Structure 1
Amino acid sequence: MSGLRSTGIRTALLAVPLAVSLIGAAAAPAGAAASRPVASLTCRGKGVDPEALVRYRAETVIDAPLRTIWKVQTDVERWPSWQGTVETVERLDDGPFRKGSAFRWTAPIPPNPSTPATSLEITSTVEQLERGSCIRWTGPATGEGLRIDGVHVWNFTKVKGGVRVSTEETHAGAQVDANVPFATEILRQGLDAWLRDLKATAEARAHHQSS
């Protein structure tokens, strides 16, 4: 899963993960734009959950080589070094990051109207991947009184000034469906924070490599 996250606590889902990302007041990254899309992002023809009520899409342009951005994003075991409160990440397979790769990661969640404060455990599996172009992962995120099924898609496109990184994620589950606007706002905060951190980390690494 990717991402429920926030500035105060930034996490994610995969679906993303998935990404799950969670609560706080995260500002959108410089150069980012977000909206509810007409058509979903895809990776090898597969997109997010078309039935999910909670969804968000965002993008930013990163001034760094594609290979650098790809390395930062797919070296999942190093996420805690640059993503605020991703607490732990464990690869569940060996070798290159590829279709079928799986990883388990944890992030704290503050209390909210539906659930108490807890730690979220996310198990993400890469379902589709095209190296240097796109990733799609899925998986559940679970915590005390909470389960979210997430789908997270990432696209990477070379553009003038760098690489446009676009991401879209959906969440489904009884708890998030009970308050869609609130859950969507949490997801927005998480994905915006993830893009901001990815941009800052990749650009800093590219600057260091070129100096």
Structure 2
Amino acid sequence: MENTTDTDEAGIDVSAPVVSRHSVTVTASADTVWRILTDIDAWTTWLPEIPYARVETPGPLAPGSVFRWSAAGMEIESTIVQVRPRERLVWRGYGDGPDGVLGVHVWALTPAGDGVEVSTEESFAGPPVDAEPGPFQEGLDTTLARWLERLKGTAEAVAAS
């Protein structure tokens, strides 16, 4: 994984109609959590609600890398915005095309005792979200909490083996 060369901190759109933030402490190394999180092609092994996920850009994840995936019934194309190995991963992408849902997602890892605090936040914007933000907020809150718990379980199982 390559570091970004920019000095700006990439982040979610805090003015978006839907914003969700969650975190969990994982008793595993940042290396273990990072490997699981950034192996996008293997997301389907620990996130059953994602039917497929595939990196389209050859080489290590870096700003500009593109991946395609499916979640919540949406076909999503995402582009990596920032990579700071074992610390921060940011992407943005559209669900169901440019007239669909624009999501910006941040994963952050911070050392915490015998493990790592994993924080995730995401913003949703776009015409479907503007029209009915409530269901998008509820769905995103549920999804991010579930993903963190699954990441925790997967990383701790790997760390214990």
TM-score (norm 2): 0.90
Supply the distance in 2 between the matched residues of 1:75 and 1:44 (Cα, whole angstroms): 25
Indicate the residue corresponding to 2:62 in structure 1.
Answer: 98
Spell out, residue by residue over 1:50-78, the C-alpha distance to the aligned partner (whole angstroms, 9 max, x if none): 33110000000000011000000000000
What is the aligned residue count?
154
1:187 lines up with 2:140 in the alignment: yes
Matches within 5 A, 1:156-175: 156-175=109-128
Supply the distance in 1 between the matched residues of 2:65 and 2:128 (Cα, whole angstroms): 28
1:56 to 20, 41, 53: 20
Deviation at residue 141 of structure 1 after TM alignment:
0.6
Indicate the residue corresponding to 2:32 in structure 1.
Answer: 68
Supply the distance in 2 between the matched residues of 1:190 and 1:46 (Cα, whole angstroms): 22
Q: Does the 8 A contact of 1:152 with 1:170 survive in 2?
A: yes
Q: Which runs of 4+ in 1 moved over 3 A?
A: none
1:126 lines up with 2:90 in the alignment: no
Amino acid at match of 1:120: M
Alignment RMSD (CA, Å):
1.6
Aligned-pair identity in percent equals: 38
Indicate the residue corresponding to 2:4 in structure 1.
Answer: none
Q: Does the 8 A contact of 1:44 with 1:129 survive in 2?
A: no
Indicate the residue corresponding to 1:82 in structure 2.
Answer: 46
Deviates more, 1:95-104 or 1:189-198: 95-104
Supply the distance in 1 between the matched residues of 2:51 and 2:135 (Cα, whole angstroms): 24
TM-score (norm 1): 0.69
Supply the distance in 2 between the matched residues of 1:50 and 1:63 (Cα, whole angstroms): 30
Supply the distance in 2 between the matched residues of 1:69 and 1:44 (Cα, whole angstroms): 24
Amino acid at match of 2:78: S
Supply the distance in 1 between the matched residues of 2:132 and 2:69 (Cα, whole angstroms): 25
Supply the distance in 1 between the matched residues of 2:113 and 2:20 (Cα, whole angstroms): 25
Q: Secondary structure at the match of 2:86?
A: coil
Spell out, residue by residue over 1:98-136, the C-alpha distance to the aligned partner (whole angstroms, 9 max, x if none): 2222100113x4xxxxxxxxx311111111111111011
Amino acid at match of 1:98: A
1:177 to 118, 127, 130: 130
Supply the distance in 2 between the matched residues of 1:50 and 1:200 (Cα, whole angstroms): 29
Deviation at residue 44 of structure 1 after TM alignment:
4.5
1:137 to 87, 91, 97: 91
Q: Secondary structure at the match of 1:124?
A: strand
Supply the distance in 2 between the matched residues of 1:202 and 1:97 (Cα, whole angstroms): 20
